[in-house]
Amino acid sequence: MTKSEERPPVKIGPQAKIVNSMVSNGCIVRGLVVNSVLSPGVYVSPGAVVQDSVVMNDTWIGPGARLDRVVVDKKVVVGAGAVVGTGNLDTVNEQMPDRLFAGITVIGKHAYIPDGAQIGRNVLINSGRDEADFPTDKVVADGKTI
């Protein structure tokens, strides 16, 4: 019953594949989307994989990026080759053990995930974070908060 935004129809590239997912107006999918929900204006680059995730409005997912069990807020940029949602499902978040314990990683609004970043499970990346907020090796362990 939510009002649809006035956006162009979904565009699906020749190499794209969408399986058991909901894709909203304005999305451009050139990668693989499985068991996920894409809100209006999401761009999935070639070679990117979005699996078991919810991605909010106007998010850009770079080439070769992988999202697994991730909730992504609006206007997030996931850099090329970044892997979000990898690691041990059993490690709870250090700051929110009562909320982030099921292996779901959460990325806040306007965050920027650097190219090649490796982000574990049950991780919280707060709104507005950019490359300077990440460790120099771009690895965020399971259960951490940025």
Residues whose CB is less than 8 angstroms from the CB of residue 136 and which lie 6 or more positions away in sequence, other chains included: none
CATH code of the domain containing 114? 2.160.10.10
Contact 113, 135 (CB under 8 A): no
Q: Is residue 6 part of a domain?
A: no
Q: Is residue 146 part of a domain?
A: no
Query: 5 pLDDT band (50/70/90 cuts)?
Result: low
Q: What is the per-residue pLDDT for 89? A: 85
Q: What is the per-residue pLDDT for 129? A: 95
Q: How far apart are CA 29 and CA 97, in angstroms?
A: 34
Q: Is residue 115 part of a domain?
A: yes
Query: 2 pLDDT band (50/70/90 cuts)?
Result: low
Q: Is residue 90 part of a domain?
A: yes
> How many domains is the chain built from?
1
Mean pLDDT of the chain: 94
Contact 25, 9 (CB under 8 A): yes
Q: Is residue 145 part of a domain?
A: no
Q: Is residue 17 part of a domain?
A: yes
Q: What is the per-residue pLDDT for 1? A: 60
Query: 126 pLDDT band (50/70/90 cuts)?
Result: very high
Find the range with the poorest average confidence among 27-31, 48-52, 90-94. Answer: 90-94
Q: Does residue 11 or residue 88 have the better pLDDT?
A: 11
Q: Is residue 4 part of a domain?
A: no
| The pLDDT of residue 8 is above 80 | yes
| The pLDDT of residue 19 is above 80 | yes
Q: Is residue 1 part of a domain?
A: no
Exposure of 139 by Cβ count < 10 A (0-12 exposed, 13-18 middle, 19+ buried)? middle
**Full domain range(s) for residue 84:** 11-140
Q: What is the per-residue pLDDT for 11? A: 95
Query: 25 pLDDT band (50/70/90 cuts)?
Result: very high
